[in-house]
Amino acid sequence: MSAATDQNFQDYKRAEAKALEIMRAMKGTSARTVDIELALLVAVFELHKATLPGSAVAKIVQGHLEVLSAHYARPASPPPAAG
């Protein structure tokens, strides 16, 4: 892995750790999962609002969701034993 790629990954991991810390703190603010979900999505739109229209941000989010859903997919259950 090149030094630049390694640094990018390390930067990402620091940002991810901070986001998870924020999410844990938000759980103390609201027990409703939907409140936290919407607030985090609003943060993504706010991050881009000066440079991109909402529809472009939605496409970015959708692309990330497709990648992440594959990563978080549960492994298939093994077939039942014959017998």
Tokens of 18: 């901070």
Q: What are phi and psi of 43, to 5 degrees?
A: -60, -40
Q: Is the pLDDT of residue 83 over 60?
A: no
* pTM attached to this predicted model: 0.75
CA distance 18 to 25: 11
pLDDT tens-digit profile of 22-40? 999 999 998 899 999 999 9
Q: Is 54 a member of any domain?
A: yes
Q: Is 3 a member of any domain?
A: no
Q: Is 1 a member of any domain?
A: no
Sequential DSSP letters for 13-64: HHHHHHHHHHHHHHHHH-S-HHHHHHHHHHHHHHHHTTTS-HHHHHHHHHHH
Maximum CA extent, the chain = 63
Structural domain of 65? 14-71
Q: Is 52 a member of any domain?
A: yes
Q: Is 56 a member of any domain?
A: yes
Q: Into how many domains does the chain fold?
A: 1
Q: Is 8 a member of any domain?
A: no
pLDDT, mean over the chain: 91
Q: Is 51 a member of any domain?
A: yes
